[in-house]
């Protein structure tokens, strides 16, 4: 029996993030696939009733997730480039992205699709794809510990809550840098849909993201990028990212959603030209 706390995502209020540059500079983490054996699955499933759980709500969708507050001290730490990239919380634009899909089911069809939740943290966007019958979902986060203690338990929580443990076999988990993730999965089937939220905060990541989309998206695939229009203090912004897309010429981009209140946020849809 699982007990959830509802509507607590507001507590993840954005403070102004600061990216710290590690000193000395570090080597980026290599990507690897995190395998979850059936014993590990069972162990995690058995531990869930003891955990404090929260509920992510979007229109008529509810997705449970484990309370990450006490998981790791990194939870409240600023982003440290190449060390910790913010995966221990659910960022505001994940709510925008999921709301965008749940408001109007015509906006996307996940059924039978191969989907990547790129920079997944809790894995909420990927879980939406799984719930909507995606054929396969790849959950990627830079930090292996985020996948181990946050993403994977959340996916198992969904499977257990809904008595759909067989759905877990449709999920794969990858840690490490986007460049290396792209290489690691180069022989895998390409993605029909890439979902990515709050990943353009650092301008030095634009090219990595663009290369990932170029290498890993099917010819008729779609990329949804949910982001704040400006990441004050850290430099990332939608306009500059779109400028790079335009210069590169591989993708056409369209703003499919914009916030009307609060901090300006957007959702971009990218398709190959
Ligand atoms: C700010 S968090 C956003 C998390 C989540 N998408 C959300 O909206 O709640 C940025 C995400 O991008 C991933 N990330 C950032 N830089 C990365 C890199 N160079 N390679 C791989 N993943 C990276 C982080 O692990 C993290 O999951």
Determine which residue's CA is closest to atom 1 belonging to ligand 1: 86
Cα of 111 vs centre of ligand 1, distance in Å, is 25
Residue nearest (by alpha carbon) to ligand 1 atom 3: 198
- pLDDT at res. 71: 56
Cα–Cα dist 120/190, whole Å: 18
CA of 1 to the centre of ligand 1 (A): 31
* Size of the chain, expressed as the number of residues it contains: 273
Task: Name residues contacting ligand 1 (CB within 6 A).
Answer: 85-87, 90-91, 93-94, 119-121, 141-143, 177-178, 197-199, 205, 208
Output the pLDDT for position 32. Answer: 98
Atom 23 of ligand 1 has which residue's CA nearest to it?
142
CA of 121 to the centre of ligand 1 (A): 7
pLDDT, mean of residues 164-186: 97
Give the pLDDT confidence of 211-236 residue by residue, as tens digits.
999 999 999 999 999 999 999 888 99
- The ligand 1 atom at the shortest distance from the C-alpha of residue 143 is 25
Residue nearest to atom 2 of ligand 1 (CA): 86
Q: How far apart are CA 135 and CA 88, in angstroms?
A: 26
Q: Between 107 and 14, whose confidence is greater? A: 107
Can you tell me which residue has the tokens 């499977």?
Answer: 159
- The DSSP line for 169-207 is GGEEEEES-HHHHHHHTTTSPPEEEEEEES--SSGGGHH
Range of weakest confidence among 24-28, 110-114, 248-252, 262-266: 24-28
56-110: pLDDT as tens digits:
999 999 999 998 765 555 555 668 888 888 888 999 999 999 999 999 999 999 9
| Pairing between β-strand 217-228 and β-strand 265-272 as defined by DSSP bridges | antiparallel
Sequence ranges of the domains in the chain: 4-11+33-272
pTM to 2 decimal places: 0.93
> Which atom of ligand 1 approaches the CA of 201 most closely?
1
Q: Which mutation among 85, 129, 146 tests ligand 1's pocket best, with the greatest number of atoms within 8 A of CB? A: 85
CATH hierarchy code of domain 4-11+33-272: 3.40.50.150
Q: Phi first, then psi: give them for residue 121, nearest 5 degrees.
A: 45, -115
């Amino acid at each position: 029996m699982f007990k959830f706390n509802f509507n607590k995502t507001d507590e993840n209020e954005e403070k102004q993030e600061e990216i710290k540059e590690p000193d000395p500079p570090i080597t980026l983490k290599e990507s690897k696939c995190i395998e979850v054996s059936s014993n590990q699955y069972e162990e995690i499933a058995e531990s869930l009733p003891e955990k404090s759980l929260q509920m992510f709500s979007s229109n008529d969708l509810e997705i449970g997730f484990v309370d990450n507050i006490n998981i790791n001290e990194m939870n409240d730490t600023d982003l440290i480039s190449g060390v910790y990239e913010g995966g221990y919380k659910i960022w505001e634009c994940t709510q925008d992205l999921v709301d965008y899909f749940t408001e109007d089911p015509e906006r996307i069809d996940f059924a039978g699709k191969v989907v990547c939740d790129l920079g997944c943290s809790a894995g909420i966007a990927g879980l939406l794809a799984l719930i909507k019958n995606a054929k396969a979902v790849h959950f990627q986060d830079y930090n292996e510990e985020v996948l181990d203690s946050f993403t994977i338990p959340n996916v198992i929580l969904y499977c257990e809550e809904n008595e759909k443990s067989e759905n877990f076999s449709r999920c794969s988990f990858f840690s490490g840098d986007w460049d290396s993730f792209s290489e690691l999965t180069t022989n895998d089937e390409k993605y029909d849909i890439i979902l990515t939220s709050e990943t353009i905060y650092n301008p030095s990541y634009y090219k990595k993201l663009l290369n990932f989309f170029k290498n890993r998206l099917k010819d008729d695939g779609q990329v949804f990028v949910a982001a704040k229009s400006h990441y004050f203090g850290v430099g990332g912004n939608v306009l500059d990212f779109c400028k790079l897309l335009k210069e590169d010429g591989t993708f056409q981009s369209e703003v499919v959603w914009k916030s009307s209140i609060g901090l300006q946020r957007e959702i971009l849809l990218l398709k190959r030209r």
